[in-house]
Amino acid sequence: MTPRKLLAGFGLAAGAFVLAAGIVAFAVPGESARAPAPSSGGNGHSHAHDHAHVDPDQAEQLTGPFGSHGDRHPQARIFETAEAGLTERRRRSMSAKSGHFRAISATLLSEAGGEDMLQVHADALDLLGSQIDRLFEVASPAPEGEKGALQAIWDDTDRFALYTAAFADESARFAQTVRDGGDLINGLHDLRYYCVACHADFRQR
């Protein structure tokens, strides 16, 4: 076994440990394990900072082969409403798309290598893109005037469906462009249009 494989295997095992610890902690009922729920409706844009920073020593300890460590950013245990849960899931999923997008552009615009990872990111964008409509299944607009999803999404579902479908198509096309070794700079530019257009028309900033 190469050292790299060994390391990968070890990483996997460590991940499984942490996961197991997380599940056990999750299964333990009781108020003490309950992080504060997100602000009503998961609204506003401060959500990324909603979860109070916790002193690592006070936080729930996760144990594994690398010792015991507190998570400074504990997950909210409960979202009080479907709307709040979906809003959080939608924002995290959007951030994931953004992460893959920016990982691709950083690869294309630098000399740091990693071209072999482009397909991974493009396929992730394709997979997430093919499901983007599901992030809007429950009407969950941001409160009037606050940052987030606009009510128009649920008022004009036919029009909004054009935007989600177009993004799904374009993200599939981009993944194919990577597979074919095509023009990635232009492909990414084309994909970005659909992010920006949807934000312009359906997102309050």
Closer Cβ to ligand HEC, 14 or 106, answer by number: 106
Query: Hunting for tokens 């312009």 — which residue is that?
Result: 200
CA distance 45 to 98: 16
CA distance 84 to 21: 26
Closer Cβ to ligand HEC, 17 or 154, answer by number: 154
97 part of the interface to ligand HEC, by CB under 6 A: yes
Q: Which of 40, 75, 95, 176 binds ligand HEC (CB under 6 A)?
A: 95
Question: Do you know the residue count of the chain?
Answer: 205
Query: With CB under 6 A as the contact rule, which of the stretches 61-69, 95-103, 111-119, 172-180 interacts with ligand HEC?
Result: 95-103
Minimum separation from the CB atom of position 55 to ligand HEC (A): 25
Q: Is-contact 149 140, C-beta < 8 A?
A: yes
Is residue 199 left, alpha or beta, with left meaning phi > 0 and alpha meaning psi from -120 to 50? Answer: alpha
Query: Site mask, ligand HEC, residues 16-45, x = CB under 6 A?
Result: ------------------------------
124 part of the interface to ligand HEC, by CB under 6 A: no
Closer Cβ to ligand HEC, 75 or 98, answer by number: 98
| Tokens (6 digits) for 83 | 């709307």
| Tokens (6 digits) for 25 | 């902690």
Strand stretches in 66-205, DSSP E: 67-70, 148-149, 203-204
| Tokens (6 digits) for 202 | 């359906």
94 part of the interface to ligand HEC, by CB under 6 A: yes
Closer Cβ to ligand HEC, 87 or 177, answer by number: 87
Angle at 33 between CA 38 and CA 49, to 5 degrees: 30
Closer Cβ to ligand HEC, 62 or 132, answer by number: 132
Helix (H, G, I), strand (E, B) or coil at 112: coil
Site for ligand HEC in 151-190 (CB under 6 A): 163-164, 167
Contact positions vs ligand HEC (CB under 6 A): 48, 87, 90-91, 94-95, 97-98, 101, 132, 142, 148-149, 163-164, 167, 194-195, 198-199, 202-203
